[in-house]
Amino acid sequence: MEKEEYAIVLDYLPYGYPLEKTMFAVVQAIGKNNFTLLQIVPRKGVSFEIKEEVYIGEGKRDKVQYIQGRLPREKLTETAKAELAEYISAAVEKDSEKYVEFFNKAQAINTRLHQFELLPGFGKKHTHALIDARDEKPFKSFEDIRERVHNIPEPRKAVEKRIAEELTEIKRINLFIN
């Protein structure tokens, strides 16, 4: 997996985590390309805005001292969780072809479970309906999926929820996050 070049600020804690003894500033961020949750230590005297894009790649970084590492899911602040949901929604909207392609290419994981069934709200009936519809012709958009497959949960929202779950909960199988 390639390294992230840019990250989006989800939350800025100028005095660090409230219940920890170390009192250094920390930024909770998400990598733009791979949805990597990161803890970033800012340079002295620098502040951050939520939703700000910051350079975290190799070489000179204006605002970032160093990347402390991956952000443990249990440390996500409520602000960061809200921003994360908003960011995921925008990312799925921007890259919708990629996620629609998932519906065209999703496979069975084993004899009892299909990738579709890992999407929130999707069961065996939805899976069969999706497979039948895509066998007729590939899906072109989320709207196309909704129109051709009746009584399924909103596909875009299901993808967004699944990405959020993969980032904030431990999942045995990830569909979208490495």
Structural domain total, the chain: 2
3-class SS at 46? coil
Evaluate whether 84 touches 10 at the Cβ level (below 8 Å). Answer: yes
Containing structural domain, residue 121: 95-168
**Has residue 151 been placed in a domain?**
yes
Contact 76, 37 (CB under 8 A): yes
Task: Record the pTM.
Answer: 0.89
Do 101 and 160 fall within a single domain? yes
Are 99 and 62 contained in the same domain? no
Residue 11 shares a structural domain with residue 63: yes
Residues 108 and 163 in one domain: yes
Domain of residue 29, CATH code: 2.40.50.140
Kindly state whether residue 175 falls inside one of the protein's structural domains.
Answer: no
pLDDT, one tens digit for every residue, the chain (178 residues): 578 899 999 999 999 988 887 788 999 999 998 999 999 999 999 999 999 999 999 889 999 999 999 999 999 999 999 999 999 999 999 999 999 999 999 999 999 999 999 999 999 999 999 999 999 999 999 999 999 998 999 999 999 999 999 999 988 999 998 8
- Kindly report the CATH number assigned to the domain that includes residue 161: 1.10.150.280
Is residue 68 within 8 Å of residue 41, measured between CB atoms?
A: yes
